[in-house]
Structure 1
Amino acid sequence: MPSRHEGSGDSRTINRRNVLTTIGAAGAVGLAGCGDQEGDGGDDTGSGGSGEDDELFPLQVQLEVNADNSDRVQLVELIAESMEQTGYFETEVETYEWNTYVGRVLDPEYQNNGFLPCIGLSGTFNPESFCNALHHSSNVGACCNLNGINDPELDELMDSARYGVDVSEDDQLRGERYDEVWNYLAEERYSSITHFDLATSVTNTDIHGFQMWPFNEGIFSFNMFAPQEEQIMWLDRDSASGDSDLSDLVEGGTVVGGLGANIDSFDPPHSSDTTSTMAQGFMFEGLTATDLEGNIYPWLAESYEVVDVQDVDRLAYADYMSTVDWTEEGAADTDEQVIVQHPEDNPDDDDQARVLLPDDALEAAQDGTYGMHYRYHLQEGVEFHNGDELTAEDVVATYEYAENSVLAPQTYDSVLAVDEVDEYTVDIYAQIPDAEAERELPGLLILNANQIDEIEKGSLDPREGNIPIGTGPYEFSEFEDEQYFEVTKFDDYWVEQQGVAEAFDWFDGSDAFPDGPVIDGFELEIVPDDSTRSGALQNGEIDVTYGLNTATLDDFDASEDFIVHGVETGGYEYIQYPVNVEPFDDRRLRQAINHLIPRQSIVDNVLNGYGRPAWTDLPELAQGSGTTDIDALEDEIRPTNEYDPERAEELLEQVAADN
């Protein structure tokens, strides 16, 4: 999901002196050799002339970024200046307020503008989130294929690394398939991942027991209560944190935190930005939970099992499909969620599309046509904040509510159907065997069926008169748009009622670990400006915040009054090329710009070391199932990502000569 930050829109000119200073360190980083890229540009085409021909070069390029994230703005300015130094580009950096920017770049029409957007994305423990989200055609206009990348060969490569009995049962084969994906992306260069973030939070010493979660959206939900890691945070204003343990735990108090952006939505399946998910994590829970290594534990589901796996492909659903027209944009013309589109249909060759719709998908599953069958046994006695008991009806309703939502492409790329077996048992079916099914099938936060039955999709928000109702340890208290958000501890939280050892068979932690969170409430101030949020922390106005400008982190780290927490994350920054707009349809142009991205300098000089250059597209936390050999992969791909202006100019000369 896109990473946070917000600010005011403006257009910036580059401070050349500052940028030239920071780019100096990267200039020494050379490329030893990538002769295999010489010459042949494949089937790509361009639309320009020679290096001296004004018809193509210097090429006018607009890079776009959200205004408030000063690190990201500097990153983009550094890339823009590096491009200009070649003489082949004239660049402009355009900045936007965060929510405006997200709406802008996720508009399907954005791909026609020819702009280069830069944004941050929060991946997962699954390798697909570092390639699929950016590049799969099913994510165009969703999260986060921003520039209309539609490459059937790439789609097939990514699908083959995730789907099928073979890869779901063989991690080695899965890694081999993903290695093919990373190499293909290195050649085509549809996007450029610049670096992997080091997720950081800063707390004052009143906060005890805090540790960093590798995805920003889970910072608060993980720290407030995560028995799978024996993680619990507490507040003690009378003693400074340091080597605190459970014997020092203090109950009560209110933590004041700083959010880096406004909460755009309280509606889980109809939002994807980090800050919204962070807020939702206080109030909503999922069927499963995850520890720091990505291991999966039953949560709202007391237990679950794989009932059956069948070697089927999506053609198996042909007899259950309906026929609909195509829209002018080439999509299936239906208001219902398309679960599966017939793989052999396309608008260029066929008058109509065959699609599997939700009711027909359920019928297929009940008839025994499916790829995988998971069964979830729900915890009994789980109470929503409105007093309703969690049942299978709530789970089924949640998935129906997610149809045609922002998260639908990431849900219904695997989910076939969800079926109520009895009051506390739910079956979730996958379309075909999926190596990531255990994590992806139960991926939604569970909503209250009675509430969502009474509202319009996407309107689960206090600004629309609908107070969020979940099963989580905290319940909604107050929200003032663009100012603050408050939650208070839910008195009837189900884990606390049952006891952690009784609720979770897998819990083998200390008897001293509490049965629920110990903090009474959270007050989250919405402070988009990094420097203002940093000042609020220094002045004691807030206790904890995250995502500060890296230039300030060393000062906090040096102070005895604060603790900086950090961990390499699944978060990453990337720019994406408008591949459907000339001359960016020529991959040599994209490769050239990629060689002008000073990744090491970005980490050293913009991020002050709080990050790692993306020599491959795969972070540490997803390497286990994402490659057969990370060292070999880096040796192979890193040369294509090295800062190398000389190689970039060679590629640009080839583009110019062919146009």
Structure 2
Amino acid sequence: MPSRHEDSGESRTINRRNVLSTIGAAGAVGLAGCGDQSGSGDDGSGNGSGDGSSDGGSGGDGLFPLQVQLEVNADNSDRVQMVELIAESMEQTEYFETEIETYEWNTYVGRVLDPEYQDNGFIPCIGLSGTFNPESFCNALHHSDNIGACCNLNGISDSELDELMDSARYGQEVAQDNALRAERYDEVWNYLAEERYSSITHFDLETSVSNTDVHGFEMWPFQEGMYSYNMFAPQDEQIMWIDRDTAAGDSELSDLVEGGTLSIAVGANIESFDPPHSSDTTSTLAQNFLFESLVANDTEGNIYPWLAESYELLDTTDIDRTAYADYMSTVETTEEGVPDTDEQIIIQHPEDNPAEDDEVRVLLPDDAVEAAEDGTYGMHYRYSLQEGVEFHNGDEMTAEDVVATYEYYENSQLAPQTFDSVLTAVEVDEYTVDVYAQIADAEAERELPGILVLNANQLAEIEKGSLDPREDNVPIGTGPYEFAEFEDEQYYEVTKSDNYWVEQQGVAEAFSWFDGSDAFPDGPVIDGFEVEIVPDDSTRSGALQNGEIDSTYGLNSSTLDDFDSSEDYIVYGVETGGYEYIQYPVNVEPFDDPRLRKAINHLIPRQAIVENVLNGYGRPAWTDLPELAQGSGTADYDALEDEIRPTNEYDPERAAELLEEIAAEN
């Protein structure tokens, strides 16, 4: 699609043929709400066969040297180099013979999220996007409920650990006492250090690079929300604009220029426009132009009403999940040991085991509504919706849309992390929705409303998972931008809505909590976004240097210093909730021995990874807890680091001692 670039700023498009010439079919760079915060590197073609043919853990006639297969997505050169560094460190002990298999991203995600992957004995490396909540740095990787979901890749199932994580999040005590919650999370971090099921290697420094035409840009700690935050975030008085005549610097609201089209490049294809049926970072980034939530967060994690004009906690009760027994349905189990039902399981009775029992008791959606109506619930929140909010098709948003959205999330990719807390959502009246938590939840205020609100009329006409232009279903939201055009694996365009509800009401009128400057605009000021899909790192870098795009993110760390030293570009960075990790196949011998896992952990050169691979754009994970989640995740971070850091230090001598112990017994 030939196009032109006029310096006047009235038309800002790029030569797509030029930019897209080396694009492969690589997928998303990470998992969101479980997504990664790093970029992509080579052509993403991968060299892994994907057939699982490696023995992944057999050591020939003796245990050592142990043959180990490490796996990683090929389209992230930093991550590949990190795995190579770990493999080299393991090889130097002479206790291991390593092999690295790489895969194109979409193939890789499907591979590692397959529940059968845990039986292969492989060590996968992947990146995730955490949240402001500490549970996302332990629960996603280790809770048995997340096996085959996001992102317990190797079947970690430890009932004692499950109880520790649950006790730090659920129950009236921790929901009302943040200090107690922090103490219980300290127990989790110490337990993980002792068992060492996974190794978090480092916390990402989220980076983006823009030319100096982009003004007012600030970093958001989660990649999937980077551009939606910058385009309009009154909770932080954050607004981004384009000025092609004045170089960005200490820009102020008084300098704001309206209009123009911003061209950005993302490192992966947009795999889905269907919010609950996708979990990769790039898809969520694309969806955030179109859809909005009941609440919003600022950079400190504080929560503000958004599509909900206000909300309140009406009631909290002291129950556990066995309280739902009288409302549960009985279903048979399959040969694979799972409940035999097509409906969303809200709660499975804690005393039942589908792997052993022919029948189990489960709470299904209709059962959950009945329980809530009878007063059996953990928490009861009421959301009073903004009136006059219109979807892009002109429909007014009402409680019906919110309830329909929760139902649409059932049996989706995001169902495990939605219905780990949500009991049900009930329409009270046209503009009021009650959302119930299963039990008291310290994270309920953020997690219960954690959906992107969809249009009920559209949902009634489509099959689940098909809210996508590739399925001839144009996504309809309430956001400030409307879907304009999408070419699979090439580009995506949105244009500013003519009837955005915040602009119609005015920011001060729409948000009672807004106490910012009168000069802050009532909506985004950029007319549209062109999102170029460019998986190759060097191609994105070259497009930025050639003036074909205005901004990108996740570039290979080796190129960031060059941009930082130039007066024509600005490099932005912030430590994020993103983290990289490897996970051990705990269900395959000899990885069921924690000494082996600890030994490999001592062979991970975290400091060298940050310095030599990431060029300093990251922080070694001496604990499993990043800065943004420390407030509720530990009673004393300095004390926690003093205690946990020695277990994560690069220490080949200690690794050799552990391996020698194992060798002596074998």
TM range (shorter): over 0.9
Task: Judge conservation of contact 1:48–1:656 (CA < 8 Å) in 2.
Answer: no
Task: Judge conservation of contact 1:303–1:377 (CA < 8 Å) in 2.
Answer: yes
1:69 matched to which residue of 2?
Answer: 76
- Picking from 9, 17, 33, the partner of 2:45 is 9
Secondary structure class of the residue paired with 1:124: coil
C-alpha distance in structure 2 between counterparts of 1:149 and 1:326, whole Å: 22
| 1:495-506 mapped onto 2 (5 Å cutoff) | 495-506=502-513
Secondary structure class of the residue paired with 2:334: coil
The answer to whether the aligner puts 1:425 opposite 2:432 as a matched pair is yes
- Picking from 394, 399, 402, the partner of 1:395 is 402
Secondary structure class of the residue paired with 2:662: helix
Q: Relative to 1, partners in 2 of residues 1:557 and 1:326: Cα closer, same or farther, differing over 3 Å?
A: same
Deviation at 1:586, TM superposition (A): 1.0
Secondary structure class of the residue paired with 2:598: helix
- Picking from 483, 490, 495, the partner of 1:483 is 490
Post-superposition CA distance 1:290-344 (Å, at most 9, x none): 0000000000000000000000000100000011112222221111100000000
Q: Which amino acid aligns with 1:522?
A: F
The answer to whether the aligner puts 1:249 opposite 2:256 as a matched pair is yes
Secondary structure class of the residue paired with 1:368: coil
C-alpha distance in structure 2 between counterparts of 1:143 and 1:124, whole Å: 13
2:125 matched to which residue of 1?
Answer: 118
2:277 matched to which residue of 1?
Answer: 270
- Picking from 295, 298, 301, the partner of 2:305 is 298
Post-superposition CA distance 1:421-467 (Å, at most 9, x none): 00000000000000000000000100000111111111111111110
Post-superposition CA distance 1:577-630 (Å, at most 9, x none): 111111111111111110000000000110000000000000000000000000
Secondary structure class of the residue paired with 2:642: helix
Deviation at 1:55, TM superposition (A): 2.2
- Picking from 455, 467, 474, the partner of 1:467 is 474
The answer to whether the aligner puts 1:597 opposite 2:617 as a matched pair is no
The answer to whether the aligner puts 1:89 opposite 2:122 as a matched pair is no
Q: Relative to 1, partners in 2 of residues 1:237 and 1:655: Cα closer, same or farther, differing over 3 Å?
A: same
2:247 matched to which residue of 1?
Answer: 240
Secondary structure class of the residue paired with 2:205: strand
Secondary structure class of the residue paired with 1:83: helix
Post-superposition CA distance 1:44-84 (Å, at most 9, x none): xx9989xxx84211111111111111110000000011011
Secondary structure class of the residue paired with 1:569: strand
2:383 matched to which residue of 1?
Answer: 376
C-alpha distance in structure 2 between counterparts of 1:407 and 1:200, whole Å: 26
Deviation at 1:348, TM superposition (A): 4.9
So what's the TM-score if we normalise by structure 2? 0.92
Q: Relative to 1, partners in 2 of residues 1:317 and 1:556: Cα closer, same or farther, differing over 3 Å?
A: same
Deviation at 1:544, TM superposition (A): 0.3
2:455 matched to which residue of 1?
Answer: 448
* Identical-residue share of aligned pairs (%): 82
Task: Judge conservation of contact 2:172–2:440 (CA < 8 Å) in 1.
Answer: yes
Deviation at 1:633, TM superposition (A): 0.4
* Paired residue total: 623
Post-superposition CA distance 1:458-512 (Å, at most 9, x none): 1111111110000000010000000000000011000000000000000000000
2:156 matched to which residue of 1?
Answer: 149
Deviation at 1:656, TM superposition (A): 1.6
Which ranges in structure 2 are unaligned for 5 or more consecutive residues?
Answer: 1-33, 49-55
The answer to whether the aligner puts 1:522 opposite 2:529 as a matched pair is yes
Deviation at 1:347, TM superposition (A): 3.2
Task: Judge conservation of contact 2:58–2:67 (CA < 8 Å) in 1.
Answer: no
The answer to whether the aligner puts 1:365 opposite 2:401 as a matched pair is no
Deviation at 1:197, TM superposition (A): 0.3
Task: Judge conservation of contact 2:337–2:356 (CA < 8 Å) in 1.
Answer: no
2:615 matched to which residue of 1?
Answer: 608
2:291 matched to which residue of 1?
Answer: 284
C-alpha distance in structure 1 between counterparts of 2:529 and 2:452, whole Å: 20
C-alpha distance in structure 2 between counterparts of 1:624 and 1:505, whole Å: 27
1:619 matched to which residue of 2?
Answer: 626
The answer to whether the aligner puts 1:385 opposite 2:417 as a matched pair is no
Secondary structure class of the residue paired with 2:558: helix
C-alpha distance in structure 1 between counterparts of 2:61 and 2:639, whole Å: 42
Secondary structure class of the residue paired with 1:536: helix
C-alpha distance in structure 2 between counterparts of 1:90 and 1:589, whole Å: 14
Q: Which amino acid aligns with 2:45?
A: G
CA RMSD of aligned residues (A): 1.3
C-alpha distance in structure 2 between counterparts of 1:108 and 1:5, whole Å: 26
- Picking from 202, 212, 218, the partner of 2:219 is 212
Secondary structure class of the residue paired with 2:434: strand
1:412 matched to which residue of 2?
Answer: 419
1:41 matched to which residue of 2?
Answer: none
Task: Judge conservation of contact 1:11–1:93 (CA < 8 Å) in 2.
Answer: no
Task: Judge conservation of contact 1:346–1:353 (CA < 8 Å) in 2.
Answer: yes
C-alpha distance in structure 2 between counterparts of 1:491 and 1:108, whole Å: 46
- Picking from 657, 661, 665, the partner of 1:658 is 665
C-alpha distance in structure 1 between counterparts of 2:301 and 2:335, whole Å: 42
The answer to whether the aligner puts 1:318 opposite 2:318 as a matched pair is no
Secondary structure class of the residue paired with 1:148: coil
Q: Which amino acid aligns with 2:174?
A: V
Task: Judge conservation of contact 1:258–1:533 (CA < 8 Å) in 2.
Answer: yes
1:649 matched to which residue of 2?
Answer: 656
The answer to whether the aligner puts 1:309 opposite 2:345 as a matched pair is no
Task: Judge conservation of contact 1:178–1:626 (CA < 8 Å) in 2.
Answer: yes
- Picking from 528, 534, 540, the partner of 2:541 is 534
Task: Judge conservation of contact 1:5–1:66 (CA < 8 Å) in 2.
Answer: no
The answer to whether the aligner puts 1:187 opposite 2:194 as a matched pair is yes
Post-superposition CA distance 1:142-163 (Å, at most 9, x none): 1111111111111100000000
C-alpha distance in structure 2 between counterparts of 1:269 and 1:47, whole Å: 36
C-alpha distance in structure 2 between counterparts of 1:208 and 1:350, whole Å: 61
Task: Judge conservation of contact 1:197–1:611 (CA < 8 Å) in 2.
Answer: yes
1:338 matched to which residue of 2?
Answer: 345
C-alpha distance in structure 2 between counterparts of 1:61 and 1:217, whole Å: 33
Secondary structure class of the residue paired with 1:200: strand
Deviation at 1:9, TM superposition (A): 3.3
C-alpha distance in structure 2 between counterparts of 1:574 and 1:62, whole Å: 15
Task: Judge conservation of contact 1:2–1:143 (CA < 8 Å) in 2.
Answer: no
- Picking from 239, 242, 258, the partner of 2:265 is 258
1:582 matched to which residue of 2?
Answer: 589
Secondary structure class of the residue paired with 2:376: coil
C-alpha distance in structure 1 between counterparts of 2:110 and 2:240, whole Å: 35
Deviation at 1:5, TM superposition (A): 5.2
Task: Judge conservation of contact 1:48–1:655 (CA < 8 Å) in 2.
Answer: no
Post-superposition CA distance 1:220-274 (Å, at most 9, x none): 1000000000000000001100011000000000000000100011000111100
Post-superposition CA distance 1:8-43 (Å, at most 9, x none): 33349xxxxxxxxxxxxxxxxxxxxxxxxxxxxxxx
Secondary structure class of the residue paired with 2:644: helix
Q: Which amino acid aligns with 2:267?
A: G
Q: Which amino acid aligns with 1:2?
A: G
Q: Which amino acid aligns with 1:116?
A: I
Which ranges in structure 1 are unaligned for 5 or more consecutive residues?
Answer: 13-45
Q: Which amino acid aligns with 1:9?
A: S
- Picking from 537, 555, 564, the partner of 2:571 is 564
Greater shift, 454-463 or 341-350, is seen at: 341-350
Secondary structure class of the residue paired with 2:325: helix
Task: Judge conservation of contact 2:333–2:357 (CA < 8 Å) in 1.
Answer: no
C-alpha distance in structure 2 between counterparts of 1:611 and 1:494, whole Å: 39
